[in-house]
Amino acid sequence: MIQERAEHLSPAAADPQDAVVAKGLSLVFQTADTPVTALSDVNLTISRGEFVSFIGPSGCGKTTLMRVIADLERPTSGSMLVNGVSAEDARLARAYGYVFQAAALYPWRNVLKNVMLPLEIIGVPAPARRERALKQLALVGLDGFERKYPWQLSGGMQQRVSIARALALEPALLLMDEPFGALDEITRDHLNEQLLRLWERTGKTVVFVTHSISEAVFLANRIVVMSPRPGRIVEIIDNPIPGPRKLDVRDSPEFAAVAHRVREALRAGHSYD
């Protein structure tokens, strides 16, 4: 029902190949002292099936931009189209899965029930729910853990459950806000590799926010470098390193070259001041 509504609203101008189109997007927060410009004139197009990373220091607006895509924030000016419709319609059509910085699992539900949560909300009947949830858990490599409770799992495993939950509605778009930021580096590397394999298998569009240069260069095929005060896009770098990438590619000279370009872009945006 909601799917029909979303389709009927798709404007003719948007290219059906584009997952996200932002034009002249600005967001100004009214705080107690002075207004804060979180985003200033952002223009960005993300095509279907791309893996895009937003990178920048705190306050550069990368999380804000993703929240605008998710319709968790409203821009003060400019336009945002997701899958050809407004961000709000996309959210109502459940067009994306969102992964937060923390796993945000419900401690009163076991792993399987946590992954089934979105399916319950949209009203999928019980047997289908179970089957779909188990499928996603297998995808993130957690089959066998269905009956465990979140506090019985490590931080890395909890985040994997969170990713499985984001995939439960099988959205075309996956929005991830520094999902591995709270984990140690070794776990992070492992999960980065898993995420890349998952992306290759499912062909989803992924938008990944991070403040780690090596993570952005390893994962993304396009890196959006942002800078603060005001939050804006400094440069969009196409990642020439061919896929499928394995972890050792991070020791290669090509990797260092791309990382260097990202660092230069950050410096140009006064991120290190």
Partner 1 sequence: MNLAMLLALLTALWFALSWLARLPPGRGREWLAPALFGAGVIGLWEFVVVAWDVPSILLPAPSAVAAALGARWHVLWPDFLQTATGVLAGYLVGCGSGFAVALAADRFGLLKRGLLPLANLAGAVPIVGIAPIMVMWFGFDWQSKAAVAAVVTFFPMLVNTLAGLATVDAMHRDLMRTYAAGHTATLAKLRLPGALPFIFNALKINSTLALIAAIVAEFFGSPIVGLGFRISAEVARMNVDIVWAAITIAALAGSAFYGLVAVLERSLTFWHPSFRK
Measured from the CB atom, the residue of 107 and 203 that comes closer to partner 1 is 107
Measured from the CB atom, the residue of 14 and 104 that comes closer to partner 1 is 104
Return the range that interacts with partner 1 (CB under 8 A); candidates 22-30, 115-123, 140-148, 234-242: 115-123
CA distance 94 to 83: 11
- CA 197 centroid distance within chain: 16
Which residue in the set 12, 151, 203, 248 belongs to the binding site for partner 1 (CB under 8 A)? Answer: 151
**Is 183 among the residues that bind partner 1 (CB under 8 A)?**
no
Burial (Cβ within 10 Å: 0-12, 13-18, ≥19) of residue 32: exposed
Cβ 117 to partner 1, closest distance in Å? 7
**Contact between residue 208 and residue 163 where contact means Cβ atoms under 8 Å apart:** no
Q: b vs e for 107-137, b when ≥16 Cβ sit within 10 Å of the residue's Cβ? A: eeebbbbbbbebbeeeebeeeebbebbbebb
**Is 117 among the residues that bind partner 1 (CB under 8 A)?**
yes
User: What angle separates helix 185-202 from helix 126-139, to the nearest 10 degrees?
Assistant: 120
Q: How many Cβ atoms are within 10 Å of 43's Cβ, its own excluded?
A: 13
Measured from the CB atom, the residue of 173 and 198 that comes closer to partner 1 is 173
**Contact between residue 217 and residue 248 where contact means Cβ atoms under 8 Å apart:** no
Cβ 138 to partner 1, closest distance in Å? 22
**Is 208 among the residues that bind partner 1 (CB under 8 A)?**
no
Q: Which residues make Cβ contacts (< 8 Å) with residue 27, sequence separation at least 6?
A: 37, 38, 39, 61, 64, 68, 73, 74, 75, 76, 231
Cβ 130 to partner 1, closest distance in Å? 17
Which residue in the set 72, 183, 236, 259 belongs to the binding site for partner 1 (CB under 8 A)? Answer: 72
**Contact between residue 168 and residue 118 where contact means Cβ atoms under 8 Å apart:** yes
Which residue in the set 20, 65, 68, 70 belongs to the binding site for partner 1 (CB under 8 A)? Answer: 70
Measured from the CB atom, the residue of 91 and 245 that comes closer to partner 1 is 91
Residues 79-108 that bind partner 1 (CB under 8 A): 91-94, 96-98, 100-102, 104, 106-108
Q: Which residues bind partner 1 (CB under 8 A)?
A: 2, 70-72, 91-94, 96-98, 100-102, 104, 106-108, 117-118, 120-122, 149, 151, 169
